[in-house]
Amino acid sequence: MDIERFKQQHVQILQIIHRMRELAAAGVAENASGLAREIRLMKSKVALHLSIENDILYPRLEKRSDGQIARLAREYREEMTALADGFGRFVERWGAESALGGDPEGFRSDCNTVLKALHRRIQRENTEFYPQVEAL
With a pLDDT cut of 90, the percent of the chain lying above it is 73
State the pLDDT at residue 64.
Answer: 79
The whole-angstrom separation of Cα 26 and Cα 23 is 5
The whole-angstrom separation of Cα 118 and Cα 101 is 23
Rounded average pLDDT over 93-111: 92
Angle at 3 between CA 61 and CA 52, to 5 degrees: 65
pLDDT tens per residue across span 53-91: 989 999 999 887 778 889 999 999 999 888 899 999 999
Question: How large is the C-alpha radius of gyration of the chain?
Answer: 16
pLDDT band at 127 (very low <50, low <70, confident <90, very high): very high
Rounded to two decimals, what is the model's pTM? 0.89
pLDDT band at 30 (very low <50, low <70, confident <90, very high): very high
The whole-angstrom separation of Cα 72 and Cα 105 is 37
The whole-angstrom separation of Cα 30 and Cα 40 is 18
E-strand stretches of the chain: none
